[in-house]
Amino acid sequence: MVLAAVAAFQLSLPDRGPLWGLLPLPPALLWIGASGAGCLRTWLVPGTHPADLNDTKDCLAFILALSVPLSVLLLGMLRRGYTLRPGLTAAVAGLASAAAAATLLGFFHPYDASVTDVAVHVAAVALVIISNRALGGGCCRP
Measured in residues, the chain has a length of: 142
Residue 133 has pLDDT above 70, yes or no: yes
Which residues, at least 6 apart from 97, have a Cβ–Cβ distance to it below 8 Å?
A: 66, 67, 70, 71, 73, 74, 128, 132
Residue 51 has pLDDT above 70, yes or no: no
- Interatomic CA distance for residues 49 and 41, integer angstroms: 10
Phi, psi of 22 (to 5 degrees): -85, -10
Measured over the CA atoms of residue 97, residue 68, residue 64 and residue 119, the dihedral's sign is negative
Closest CA to 72 of 124, 136, 134: 136
Residue 110 has pLDDT above 90, yes or no: no
Question: Per-residue pLDDT tens for 59-108?
Answer: 889 999 999 999 999 998 988 888 888 999 999 999 999 999 988 988 88
- Interatomic CA distance for residues 140 and 79, integer angstroms: 5
Question: Per-residue pLDDT tens for 9-26?
Answer: 999 998 999 999 999 999
| pTM of full prediction above 0.75 | yes
Average pLDDT over every residue of 135-142? 66
- Interatomic CA distance for residues 38 and 126, integer angstroms: 20
- What percent of the chain lies above the pLDDT cut of 90? 45
